[in-house]
Amino acid sequence: MSVWPAWEVREGDGATSWFQVRLAFADGARVDALAVVCAGRVSIEDVRAQPALSLHDLTVLADWIEEPLFEACGAAAEPEGEAGGGGGVEEPAVSRRARPAWPRGVEGRWLVAQEYRAAQEEGFDPVLAVMCATGHSRRKSLRLISQARDEGFLTPRHARR
């Protein structure tokens, strides 16, 4: 994880600081964010991730980067209160993925079919829904959808002759 200051605005005794944050995971996933630290709180202004983050991952992103941000700007995180808060910087070094691994085999194809059908029923792009759920590219998601069709979890795309 890398944190570097972007800019800072001072008002009276307080300051609002913006930081560029980059998280790189062992599986090749990467998250670039613009974070704001103001009055002991972390806010995320902009996020770019490869592959795309799920909604759950977005909700925990601030927690992932909070302690390293406070260390970069010289403030202490409010809930921790411990002087030896260096554990937060070492934690991302543990090999973890940006999102849980998608199950393989029949279970994964069944889940792909569920995501695909739910998106269709709600009027959304089903391929995009599978991409967001799995974190895979469009090509890989189309391959998973076709495997779900072959498995019989989705209706055939074209009438076979």
Residue 100 counted as domain residue: no
Range of the domain at 33: 2-93
Q: What is the pLDDT of residue 146?
A: 92
Q: Does the structure show a pLDDT above 70 at 61? A: yes
pLDDT digits (tens, 9 = 90+) for 12-60: 777 788 888 888 878 888 888 888 877 777 777 888 888 887 777 777 7
29: Cα separation from own chain's centroid: 9
Residue 159 counted as domain residue: no
Residue 57 counted as domain residue: yes
Q: Which residues contact 13 (CB under 8 A, 6 or more apart)?
A: none
Does residue 84 share a domain with residue 60? yes
Provide the pLDDT confidence category of residue 73 given band limits of 50, 70 and 90: low
Residue 69 counted as domain residue: yes
Residue 98 counted as domain residue: no
Does residue 48 share a domain with residue 83? yes
Amino acid identity at 65: I
79 vs 27 pLDDT, higher one: 27
Q: What is the DSSP string of 95-153?
A: ---SSPPPPPHHHHHHHHHHHHHHHHHHTS-HHHHHHHHH---HHHHHHHHHHHHHHTS
Q: What is the pLDDT of residue 75?
A: 54
The owner of tokens 């209706």 is: 155
14: Cα separation from own chain's centroid: 31
- CA distances (Å), 28 to each of 41, 59, 91, 155, in order? 29, 21, 17, 34
Segment 65-79 mean pLDDT: 63
Q: What is the pLDDT of residue 77?
A: 46
- The greatest distance separating any two alpha carbons of the chain, rounded to the nearest whole angstrom, comes to 76
pLDDT digits (tens, 9 = 90+) for 82-109: 434 444 433 444 344 455 677 788 888 8
Residue 160 counted as domain residue: no
Backbone angles phi and psi of 89, in degrees to 5: -75, -35
Minimum mean pLDDT range among 47-61, 66-80, 108-122, 133-147: 66-80
* Number of folded domains that form the chain: 2
pLDDT digits (tens, 9 = 90+) for 137-157: 888 889 999 999 988 998 887
Q: What is the pLDDT of residue 113?
A: 92
Provide the pLDDT confidence category of residue 160 given band limits of 50, 70 and 90: low
Provide the pLDDT confidence category of residue 116 given band limits of 50, 70 and 90: very high
